[in-house]
Structure 1
């Protein structure tokens, strides 16, 4: 179990995970297509259970019970313009090159495809907490580099993706019991209704408007044989039966001989 997976198993993590699933489900209800992909380093927290898409790929660098594809997010073995919905669950937060990861996600996403990015807000109390965890040289949190909403929006614009909406969760960390806990939950619900920018986690929804951003031709040709094609291909139309002219001529001559 990774440190992020362990964090999500705690009470505060479970609360934020439930809120994330609810926000993601609101988009998935209207995101149709053939293929869905979720990436990230949290392997036991699938967010696509409410999706109407039947073919779902759960990709991670390490094996897990729910993982169906072992792959790095910055080099996905999938054809360009082949995935209808992509969920990036903290994928950018722990990437060595988050911009390259975003380019790769944009490449595999179909035009008009839906992109959901879940990330830690660096300008929040939770963002400060994750930064402090990184100072401890922890194997996972030390790699943590949150991408702000404003920077992410700029990157998406350059890649031809249009931001539709952003949901923010966890303005205040849950603490205490009883009346204090209920008060903190009410404050967090109030901040969500007013979409305040101080949430610890953001769920950004964008739609791809352009075709894939391809890599240099030579590099692309070297990888092409390794790519998995997901695009459904139409079946060949059946050829109508037409009797052979040679056979018809032979039958005509045989009939003349009988006469």
Structure 2
């Protein structure tokens, strides 16, 4: 998928999100994203794409940005918020290890280079920074409808774009040392086009989470950036004295702070002199 096709796909997704099925998806994802982001702490958070969903509404981070991935915005949808940034998701204009949270709502399946998008996100996340991905599940009734649409021509989901399964997403994240912490499925109703029919199948949302949890129409994956070789280092101990180093008194405010390693060396020398 080239960049022009990707942009057309995103515009098609904007139109689809205004349909009853799109509102159904937006409502479920908004509730879940509010629940997830409220418990993630830090300073800088970024949402890329899908301005119809306020993925950072419940986030308590002081700096929050919404980025649009379209080069030519045109007339924004009625339910969309104004983006503060506009760029190509495969080249993020942020310094390495500068963001605490990144949210990708339906970006990867409509991106020209989804692998490059993930690599860029991994680059800009701080160690232990978090990534949340929303996507359509190909192993669902909606995914089956998309497959049959290639033959019948009756498209339900946006025609362009490649649905990416959750196991595939997890494999990509694993290659980037991104550990998956939580995963969720939702929207179990069949591929209905009208609100009354979607409402008739509301019971499937209650039953689906219990009886067929992996067949929801959409999923959300939450992952954490792991950095190999990093570990917490405890206080240094003197091998000769076998005693723990003495900390600098908190009341002594006129002296320069001394690092733990320096204290350990001083204690070791003191012990050897004695």
Shared fold (TM-score, shorter chain, > 0.5): yes
1:88-133 per-residue CA deviation (whole Å, 9 max, x = no partner) reads 0111010122111111111111111111100011121222344566
Q: How many residues align?
A: 208
Q: Does the C-alpha gap of structure 1 residues 80 and 143 become closer, same or farther in structure 2, counting only changes over 3 Å?
A: farther
Q: Does the C-alpha gap of structure 1 residues 187 and 20 become closer, same or farther in structure 2, counting only changes over 3 Å?
A: same
Q: Is the 8 A contact 1:123 1:198 kept in 2?
A: yes
Pairs within 5 Å for 1:119-134: 119-131=135-147
- Report how far residue 166 of structure 1 moved: 1.0
1:59 aligns with 2:75: no
1:100 to 97, 116, 139: 116
- Report how far residue 157 of structure 1 moved: 1.0
2:103 to 87, 99, 106: 87
Query: Higher RCO, 1 or 2 (CA under 8 Å, sep at least 6)?
Result: 1
Q: Which runs of 5+ in 2 are unaligned?
A: 1-9, 229-274
Q: Is the 8 A contact 1:88 1:118 kept in 2?
A: yes
1:162 aligns with 2:179: yes
- Report how far residue 182 of structure 1 moved: 4.7
Q: Does the C-alpha gap of structure 1 residues 57 and 129 become closer, same or farther in structure 2, counting only changes over 3 Å?
A: farther
Q: Does the C-alpha gap of structure 1 residues 159 and 195 become closer, same or farther in structure 2, counting only changes over 3 Å?
A: farther
User: TM-score of the superposition, structure 1-length normalised?
Assistant: 0.72
Mapped partners of 2:143, 2:27: distance in 1: 19
1:24 aligns with 2:33: yes
Equivalent residue, structure 2, for 1:186: 203
- Report how far residue 148 of structure 1 moved: 0.9
- Report how far residue 43 of structure 1 moved: 3.0
Pairs within 5 Å for 1:207-218: 207-210=224-227
User: TM-score of the superposition, structure 2-length normalised?
Assistant: 0.68
Mapped partners of 2:224, 2:54: distance in 1: 21
Mapped partners of 2:63, 2:57: distance in 1: 11
Q: Is the 8 A contact 1:126 1:173 kept in 2?
A: yes
Mapped partners of 2:195, 2:135: distance in 1: 27
Q: Is the 8 A contact 2:142 2:191 kept in 1?
A: no
Q: Which runs of 5+ in 1 are unaligned?
A: 212-259
1:201 aligns with 2:210: no
Equivalent residue, structure 2, for 1:13: 22
1:52-90 per-residue CA deviation (whole Å, 9 max, x = no partner) reads 112111112234552111111111111111111110011
Mapped partners of 1:134, 1:7: distance in 2: 18
Mapped partners of 1:120, 1:177: distance in 2: 19
Does the residue aligned with 1:197 lie in a helix, a strand or coil? helix
1:72 aligns with 2:72: no
Equivalent residue, structure 1, for 2:261: none
- Report how far residue 142 of structure 1 moved: 4.8
Single out whichever of 195-204 and 85-94 deviates more from structure 2: 195-204
Mapped partners of 2:124, 2:147: distance in 1: 31
Pairs within 5 Å for 1:166-177: 166-173=183-190, 175=192
Q: Is the 8 A contact 1:88 1:117 kept in 2?
A: yes
1:37 to 24, 46, 52: 46
Q: Does the C-alpha gap of structure 1 residues 130 and 4 become closer, same or farther in structure 2, counting only changes over 3 Å?
A: farther
